[in-house]
Structure 1
Amino acid sequence: MTQTAFLSILPLLVMSAGAVIAMLLVAIQRNHRLMHAFTVGTFLVAGAALVFVKVPLPFAIAPLFIVDAFAQFNTGLILAAGLSVLFLSYSYFEQREERKEEYYILLLLATVGGIVLVLSQHFISLFLGLETMSISLYGLIAYLRARERSDEAGMKYLLLAALSSAFLLFGMALVYAETGKMDFNGIGAYLQSVAQAPVTIVAGFGLMLIGIGFKLGIVPFHMWAPDIYEGAPLPVAAYIATVSKGSMLVLLMRFYRDVNGYTYTILWWVIAVIAVASMFAGNWLALQQQNVKRLLAYSSISHMGYILIAFLAGQREGQEAVIFYLVAYVITSIGAFGVLALMSDKVRDAEMIEDFKGLYWRQPWLAAIFTAMLLSLAGIPLTAGFIGKFYVVAAGVDAGLWILLVLLVINSVIGLFYYIRLVAVMFQYEEAPQRKRLPFFGVFALTALMGLLLWLGVYPSAFIALIRQMMLTMG
């Protein structure tokens, strides 16, 4: 490997080395505080390597990886999201009786898998990244085995993820059998050389969409989401909702662009139907929930539907809208799950709507943060969620997706109800409230996330300019 190639994937190498060293640290001496500090340090070093180590872009590490501005931006997003989850994890796991140190090894390995996905331009690297992340998530979901529903959630994810991987592999095999290529650009070049895509390739793309759809949690591949979110530890649920889904969405964008997937009308219509079904099913089922973790799970399904509308817009504005909405979604989802994590105790998670009754009178700052996150998810002005939805609508208008946009507006109104209902519960008056001391790093992380949320909602132009520059230089 040349020096330039080494430097271009330095964040990935740092995270991989960190996972190996973490295993050795656990073998030598179990210490929760040390493992947490080491893992935070690993994320910071990887982030510093991403920011300060400059290489000519785009740079290809043939045939598996492509390092360009798009990949680097999303690698940074994964590292930032993982670091935020880490800050929320220490106090959450410290009050649990289970051994805690292996959690950080699994989190490092899952992040390695996510970074591999955003760098991938080949079926082999795609599958290696996907399985590295998935196998780590099996353990993370079922980590707190003394808890009710933990083992059940882990087994459900194991079985369904294995099934989705089988569909993905079968789809790859069909595409390879027809094209003789496994790299994205090679497949795209083959498709441009034929007058019409063979049925084998269309079927392969369809099967691959099933595997990717499971990871994104979109209808009709969404049934795992509420049970997994409910059974998993809260920091893990935040990680699945953001890093796992985000890395797969980035991979889908690159693959679809490289194979020029927008030229296939049947695939466009399939994704359009999935987007509409995800919006309606997610919001309708969220309306019926009393469990906040399940509510957020169904909410995430509807938000994937919103993102897919921008994805279908296809042009540069649509891709920019997807990235902006993804960033806003990552901030709000981690913030929402983070509030639940800080409110939880060693006996049970704070997950029922009744647990939030009178939160403003017990923890006013926590209630303010949760309110900001919920309003952003609802798309209220002065939040990143509003700018994200506005960006999606603007991209849809440019592409003439009028029916999809009308349905998006209808679903946004439906979603507003269950978000506002939860906000109203928090501000109900409660006499003689019992205050709980909150961990410093958890409050710091949530405060930073709320600051980003409001900054992107009030002054988004600088960040939008960054996204546009990144898309222009995309390899």
Structure 2
Amino acid sequence: MITSIDFSVLTPLLLLAGSSVLVMMLIAIKFSHRSIQITSLLLFVISFSSIFYVHNLIPHYIEPLFVIDNFSLFIMGLIIFSGLVVNMISYVYFEEKEESPKEYYVLLFLCTLGACVLATSKHFISLFLGLEILTVGLYALIAYLRGRQHNIEAGIKYLVLAAFSSAFLLFGIALIYFQTGTMDFSTLAVALKPFKSLPLLFHTGLGLMLVGIGFKLAVVPFHMWTADVYQGAPSPVTAFIATASKGAVFAVLVRFFIAIDGFRYQTVMFVMISIAIASMIVGNLLALQQKNVKRILAYSSIAHLGYLLVAFIPGTAMSLQAVSFYLTAYFITSLAAFGVITVLSNTEKDAESINNFKALFWDHPVLACIFSTALLSLAGIPLTAGFVGKFYMLSAGIQSGFWALALVLVLSSIFGLYYYLRIITAMFSGEQSIAPQDKKAHPVFYLISSIVLSVLTLMIVWFGIYPSGLMQLIEQLQIGH
């Protein structure tokens, strides 16, 4: 039976769902793009603020689908914050385009809702429901600009491969349900207790599930779609995919493995270790060959998911802390990086070639410094949040004796320095920028976007120099079953 407190703890999800309906109503009565964008911004702020209200009511279980604990609230906060930033940088991007941008904000709310449902899931039904709300919205967002050369292609590729991955995921869930008779994460652990090793059907089902989840995370060997979708999607959408979409899936993966104590099964861990090593090596090597900035960031994201797996695989309390800190650092850094690309893009095409950033410092020194800071954080240079995040992940891996993973992380990060520094070098060399310049939106909105990106940059540096405040918050995180 649903109680009033159930509705209270679901406030962020209800607000996101209601916001999408409200924006649809505003579109129906023909509000302007600017009015809808500002309304959406206020609704995102309200949704984010509701996280603090719910904090006093946790932990709370809404059987059998959801658990609202401080870990799910933390991830929801990151996801809604990402949606808020993407909303703020989207106006200058879509105001210049020929397509009506109003429905974009409805889809953004629905994708954020799906990601938050994933973050609170403790049951296969809510997991699949959240995943499909997120994925179906992304189909439309990726192909939103129909007139662009790569957009429809990217949308169709994502549609086809996402459908295949969902089929793998569903078949895996079906096999696990057939073996155990339950779809609740915590009950699965009880059903597995009589077995000394994983039963064959459960083993097969878990393998199929990892294929489906591996596609959503874009880890090797399920990474084929990443570069084309990152390049083809509108830049704000790419920022959302890189942060909220992947963060939500990784959060539910963490909750699932902790609930079933999957870390004690050697075969499963061997597969995860192989995926982590392959992702770190292949992601960095593929990024070395690229001249398109969005494709570089796409392949580097594969490597970063490999880094996250280094912290995840030990399955200790420190693993949860390292994963949470690195997700925070990666969210902030990716939003800043793709935000710069968004601001510099024009009506015809995105600013995605390295040549678009040549001598950027002499024309837009603030944007050049913001992008440089983001790239240095992705590379793991000291005094940035990315460095502290990698340090915690290395500590989590080494503390549990995973020296090989730690060594691959360090060596692959060295390769990553090259392609990040190549972009930075281009921004500070030459005499004249050839970045797209024609702008249609009001200059005030470019100023607002630049302020947002500057705040993100300050957060990158602040968490890199003084990470203790964030770590104190993260140390309190616990996962309820």
TM-score (norm 1): 0.98
Residue 107 to residue 433, structure 1, CA distance change in 2 (3 Å)? closer
Distance 1:370 1:152 in 2: 28
8 Å CA contact 1:78–1:115 kept in 2: the answer is: yes
Describe the superposition over 1:107-154 as per-residue Cα deviations: whole angstroms up to 9, x where unpaired.
Answer: 000001001000100010000000000000000000000111111100
The alignment status of 1:375 with 2:382, answered yes or no, reads no
How many angstroms does 1:46 deviate by? Answer: 1.0
Q: Which residue of 2 aligns with 1:295?
A: 296
Q: Which residue of 1 aligns with 2:365?
A: 364
Describe the superposition over 1:368-427 as per-residue Cα deviations: whole angstroms up to 9, x where unpaired.
Answer: 000000000000000000000000111111111111111111101000011111111100
The alignment status of 1:264 with 2:265, answered yes or no, reads yes
Q: Which residue of 1 aligns with 2:469?
A: 462
8 Å CA contact 1:218–1:301 kept in 2: the answer is: yes
Residue 208 to residue 371, structure 1, CA distance change in 2 (3 Å)? same
Distance 1:208 1:79 in 2: 26
How many angstroms does 1:53 deviate by? Answer: 4.0
The aligned runs of 1:26-41 (5 Å cut-off) are 26-41=27-42
- Out of 395-404 and 428-437, give the one that drifted further: 428-437
Distance 2:172 2:160 in 1: 19
Distance 1:318 1:14 in 2: 32
Amino acid at match of 1:468: E
Residue 434 to residue 170, structure 1, CA distance change in 2 (3 Å)? closer
- Out of 303-312 and 36-45, give the one that drifted further: 36-45
Residue 195 to residue 338, structure 1, CA distance change in 2 (3 Å)? same
The aligned runs of 1:159-198 (5 Å cut-off) are 159-198=160-199
Describe the superposition over 1:248-291 as per-residue Cα deviations: whole angstroms up to 9, x where unpaired.
Answer: 00000000000110011111010100011111111001000000
8 Å CA contact 1:168–1:209 kept in 2: the answer is: yes
Amino acid at match of 2:461: L
Residue 97 to residue 391, structure 1, CA distance change in 2 (3 Å)? same
Distance 1:322 1:432 in 2: 38
The aligned runs of 1:11-90 (5 Å cut-off) are 11-90=12-91
Residue 347 to residue 63, structure 1, CA distance change in 2 (3 Å)? same
Q: Aligned match of 1:445 in 443, 447, 452?
A: 452
The alignment status of 1:213 with 2:220, answered yes or no, reads no
The aligned runs of 1:248-327 (5 Å cut-off) are 248-327=249-328
8 Å CA contact 2:384–2:464 kept in 1: the answer is: yes
Residue 99 to residue 59, structure 1, CA distance change in 2 (3 Å)? same
Distance 2:8 2:323 in 1: 28
Q: Which residue of 1 aligns with 2:224?
A: 223
Residue 16 to residue 431, structure 1, CA distance change in 2 (3 Å)? closer
8 Å CA contact 1:362–1:434 kept in 2: the answer is: no
How big is the alpha-carbon RMSD for the aligned residues of Structure 1 and Structure 2?
1.4
Distance 1:85 1:56 in 2: 29
Distance 2:274 2:435 in 1: 48
8 Å CA contact 1:84–1:445 kept in 2: the answer is: yes
Distance 2:73 2:253 in 1: 16
How many angstroms does 1:196 deviate by? Answer: 2.5
How many angstroms does 1:366 deviate by? Answer: 0.4
How many angstroms does 1:474 deviate by? Answer: 4.8
- Out of 10-19 and 430-439, give the one that drifted further: 430-439
Secondary structure in structure 2 of the residue aligned to 1:181: coil
Q: Which residue of 2 aligns with 1:390?
A: 391
How many angstroms does 1:55 deviate by? Answer: 4.1
8 Å CA contact 1:362–1:435 kept in 2: the answer is: no
Secondary structure in structure 1 of the residue aligned to 2:209: helix
How many angstroms does 1:194 deviate by? Answer: 2.5
Residue 357 to residue 124, structure 1, CA distance change in 2 (3 Å)? same
Residue 169 to residue 435, structure 1, CA distance change in 2 (3 Å)? closer
Distance 1:61 1:193 in 2: 28
List alignment gaps of at least 5 residues for structure 1: none
Q: Which residue of 2 aligns with 1:115?
A: 116
How many angstroms does 1:39 deviate by? Answer: 1.1
- Out of 393-402 and 133-142, give the one that drifted further: 393-402
8 Å CA contact 2:89–2:449 kept in 1: the answer is: yes
- Out of 397-406 and 190-199, give the one that drifted further: 190-199
Amino acid at match of 1:335: A
How many angstroms does 1:441 deviate by? Answer: 2.0
Amino acid at match of 1:467: I
Residue 362 to residue 60, structure 1, CA distance change in 2 (3 Å)? same
Distance 1:338 1:196 in 2: 47
Describe the superposition over 1:138-184 as per-residue Cα deviations: whole angstroms up to 9, x where unpaired.
Answer: 00000000111111100000000000000000000000000000010
The alignment status of 1:106 with 2:107, answered yes or no, reads yes
Amino acid at match of 1:345: N
Distance 1:223 1:435 in 2: 29
The aligned runs of 1:400-419 (5 Å cut-off) are 400-419=401-420
8 Å CA contact 2:231–2:295 kept in 1: the answer is: yes
How many angstroms does 1:52 deviate by? Answer: 2.7
Secondary structure in structure 1 of the residue aligned to 2:61: strand
How many angstroms does 1:31 deviate by? Answer: 1.4
Describe the superposition over 1:207-246 as per-residue Cα deviations: whole angstroms up to 9, x where unpaired.
Answer: 0000000000000000000000110000000000000000
TM-score (norm 2): 0.97
Alignment length (residue pairs): 474
Residue 256 to residue 427, structure 1, CA distance change in 2 (3 Å)? same
Distance 1:289 1:397 in 2: 32
How many angstroms does 1:334 deviate by? Answer: 1.0
Amino acid at match of 1:64: L
